Homo-oligomer: A and B are copies of this chain.
Amino acid sequence: MNRPDIGRIDGLTYPTGTAYMAGQYLPMSEARISVLDWGLLHSDVTYDTVHVWKGKFFRLDLHIARFRRSLEKLRLRVAYTDEQLRDILVQCVRRAGLRDAYVEMLCTRGISPTFSRDPRDAANQFVAFAVPYGSVANARQLKEGLHLHLIDTVRRIPPESVDPQIKNYHWLDLVTAQFQGFDAGAETVVIKDMDGNVAEGPGFNIFAVKAGALYTPERGVLHGITRRTVFDIAEQLGIAVHAGAVREDQLRRADEIFITSTAGGIMPVTRLDGVPVGNGAPGELTQTIFHTYWAWHDDPRWTLTVDYGEADHAR
């Protein structure tokens, strides 16, 4: 897998990795959907992502269960059982030979042969892929903490419009905020909901720590699996968690802030709009949760080990 993966039509270089679609395993450069697919033309698609760390999937069952719920809400059909889905994802990882991987499964509405405007005429398309593990925070940011900006000029798409529990690609609000954040010197951003409370950032949930308790938004945000894992860790460690509206001033007066994502895990935030959070270093509680989170990645209760032995003969 070490020769560059170059796109046949576009000549671009693609990440190493393996995709699955239409019954075939393909290099990433070949994993392409039609420009007529409603997944592109109407963002009529749902997905889920899971990661593999040191050869082990983390909480894959929760990700597959959430994917099923998203599919059902959007009336999308995937022909595979949960076991078959799991096998496809494992195959993508073993064929890619990746010990640390970012794994995504998605299902689009698809295309109709007549380009009909009726979504019921489309043939739903399932795609999965495994690429090298990526994180919202780079190594330095994980160690020193992220510089986050709270962007006030764009509001997260409200649940009255799109159900955030359907994991979706409607990100123009977040992308717009990202560019505004970059202009202001931010490394990443978080935006507010329509009520002016703190919502979420591009691909992550946010937690504030105050007096030893955790505060995180509940309504109008994706209920991330990493967020859920923080709840589970907090329960084990006896830390109180308050899931509900988080006001801007609660975030500004927090002792610690961290963000959570399958792409990066538990990531400390040490500056908010340029102002140090707490003493300006990753907080103690954040670090405790961080270490527990990664320790759980060795725990067979939460993991599924990939067998890389016979990758070439598989299926």
Contacts and interface: CB of A to CB of B under 8 A. Distances in A.
Interface stretch (A80-88, A119-127, A225-233, A276-284): A119-127
A249 B146 CA distance: 50
A15 B113 contact: yes
B263 A44 contact: no
Interface residues of A, number: 78
Contacts of A123: 12
A172 B129 CA distance: 23
A134 interface: yes
Assembly of this chain: how many copies?
2
A131 B115 contact: yes
Contact of A117 (B113, B136, B173): B136
| 3 residue pairs, one from A and one from B, having the closest CB atoms | A32-B32, A42-B171, A43-B43
A22 interface: yes
Nearest to A47: B41
Interface string A49-65: 00000000000000000
B161 A43 contact: no
A12 B111 contact: yes
B173 A161 contact: yes
Contacts of A13: 113
Contact of A172 (B47, B111, B155, B168): B168
Interface string A138-165: 0000000000000000111110111100
Interface of A: 7, 9-15, 19, 21-22, 24, 26, 28-36, 38-45, 47, 74-75, 102, 106, 109, 111, 113-117, 119-120, 123, 125, 127, 129, 131-132, 134, 136, 154-158, 160-163, 166, 168-176, 178-179, 182, 194, 202-203, 263
B45 A19 contact: no
A156 B157 CA distance: 10
Contacts of A168: 172
A120 to B, nearest CB: 7
Contacts of A120: 182
A162 to B, nearest CB: 5
A36 B134 CA distance: 13
A40 B34 contact: no
A11 B45 CA distance: 21
Nearest to A157: B161
B117 A171 contact: no
A228 B38 CA distance: 26
Given A42-B172, A117-B134, 5 more contacts: A11-B22, A14-B113, A28-B34, A36-B131, A109-B175
A15 B36 contact: yes
Given A160-B154, A171-B42, A179-B119, A35 B19 contact: yes
Contact of A175 (B44, B47, B102, B171): B44
